[in-house]
Amino acid sequence: METLTYQFTLLSDTFVHGAYQTQDFNQPELRAPSVKGMIRWWHEALGYSKADADHIFGKVKGGNKASLVIVRVEPIEPPDISESPFLPHKSRKPKFAITPGTFFRLSLIPRREGLSGSFKEQLKQATEAWLLLGSIGQRSNRAAGSVLWEKCPTTQKDFEIIVGDLTKGSRVSFAILDRVFENDIEARDLAGRFPKHAPKDWKNPSTVPGAVFGSASPRKPSSLKLKVVDLDQAYRLLALWIPSDSQDNPANLEAAIKMMKTFEGKAELGRLLQSALPQLTA
């Protein structure tokens, strides 16, 4: 296997933790282990087995096995770091982030015998899935840290064709929401407007956002993810529906979005998601 090399940039503020940390300052840094973790996550989301993932990326539990690929990430130019709104929809203290526009080079370097046949193709598909559909860092499920691959299609039509082929047969479905944004912060503002709790008069507690939109206690990531994309020369939000358990089903997603529309300040996102439901649950 030869080295696979990709270039990408960031479309939205990226809140990643670097090696240098103090109580008062976090020096953001996009690190290879974080990127490797995201590629492995997308490998599983595309439907490949844990055994295949362990073979490619290595494992610790159940007997150590070294990874057959080295992941390297390096900025092509020094990253621009500044304070940015962490929660644009709320009046909260800003955080240091890598700002949009920094370009990075991603290299996947074979170790020892490397990968051959289907394993090489699996790694390639998982990497391209992250570059096309993924994000990284804090608030990455809510449009922060959105990644833009240099080979990403520039039109919605071409994007939907390529992503449709890549995710065919997997548990990943997607839809581009019907709104254009001025910038990434405006997109992140809307993307953060998910309810934490159901209204007191909500009649079906089994469909509250804890099962679909994520939960802090018990800890569960959202199965509905939003990412900033740049298509047809406009910022849009890409919605990704990637169920993680049996409660994440179309009926619960539809009910949770219906509930979402009852919250002041969250109804617009609810309406956009409702319009996208046929694509997300197809």
**Per-position pLDDT tens, the chain of length 282:** 789 999 999 999 999 987 666 656 678 999 999 999 999 999 999 999 999 999 888 887 766 788 889 999 999 999 999 999 888 888 778 899 999 999 999 999 988 777 888 999 999 999 999 999 999 999 999 999 999 999 999 999 999 999 999 999 999 999 999 999 999 999 999 999 987 665 554 555 444 544 688 877 677 788 999 999 999 999 999 999 999 877 788 888 998 898 888 888 899 999 999 999 999 998
* Strands of 224-231's sheet in order across: 173-176, 234-241, 224-231
CA 29 to CA 134: how far, in whole Å?
17
* Residue 61 confidence (pLDDT): 73
What letter does residue 7 receive in the DSSP assignment? E
What is the maximal distance between C-alpha atoms in the chain?
60
> What does the angle CA 79 – CA 82 – CA 87 come to, to the nearest 5 degrees?
120
* Residue 210 confidence (pLDDT): 47
b/e map 176-209, b = 16+ CB within 10 Å: bbebebeebbebbbbbbbbbeebeeeeeeeebbb
CA 31 to CA 74: how far, in whole Å?
8
* Residue 234 confidence (pLDDT): 97
- Cis peptide leading into residue 28 (ω within 30°): no
Residues in the chain: 282
For residue 112, what are its two tokens?
A: 């020892």
Q: Is the dihedral of CA 137, 141, 143, 148 positive or negative?
A: positive
CATH number, span 1-152: 3.30.70.1900
Q: Enumerate the domain spans of the chain.
A: 1-152, 169-282
